[in-house]
Amino acid sequence: MDRLSFDNPLFATYVIAATLLILKAAAMSWLVVFRMIRENGGFRSPEDLKKTLANPNPHPGQLEPNPRVERARRIQLNDLESFPYFLVAGFLWILTSPSLWLAQWLFYGYVVTRALHFVAYLTARTHDLRSLLWTPGSLILIYMAGSTLFSALLHAA
């Protein structure tokens, strides 16, 4: 069986987790736009103050930071900082042929912790709680990367 085929349950598990994260990241862009429209502010570019159908009553205050828009942007940035690591580390890790149950636990565990982190961030929970939810995902990435490195070193020798 080809490792990079949907016939391989390990690869399919990775694809499901990776796709969920990609869709979540894409949804964050829409959340930022939704909040900008709802708040009628939080815009960043001077040209956003031009009168258009979408902005019939522009005013300079629209360029000021808006707390609700900025929170969504911080969540989006957090995703953009962490998801690429998962996508690469997870892909390389499946090439080491880990057990399916471990891959399911780690891949889906990462997705769940990121979803919970999102909820905590969106609802303005404490840094302590967000850190508690971030830590398992970070440890998952470290485990996958370390395991992959160890496997590569064994094969390179």
3 lies in a domain?
Answer: no
| Mean pLDDT along residues 123-152 | 96
Q: How many domains does the chain have?
A: 1
| Mean pLDDT along residues 61-89 | 94
4 lies in a domain?
Answer: no
- Say if residues 120 and 137 touch (Cβ distance below 8 Å): no
Of residues 48 and 144, which shows the higher confidence score? 144
**Could you give the CA distance from residue 64 to residue 51 in angstroms, rounded to a whole number?**
17
Q: Is 14 left (phi over 0), alpha (psi -120 to 50) or beta?
A: alpha
**3 falls in which pLDDT band (50, 70, 90)?**
confident
Whether the per-residue pLDDT at 1 is higher than 80: the answer is: no
Expressed as residue numbers, the domain containing 56 is: 9-156
41 lies in a domain?
Answer: yes
63 lies in a domain?
Answer: yes
Whether the per-residue pLDDT at 95 is higher than 80: the answer is: yes
77 lies in a domain?
Answer: yes
Count of CB atoms within 10 A of residue 98's CB?
17
Residue 136 sits in a domain whose CATH number is 1.20.120.550
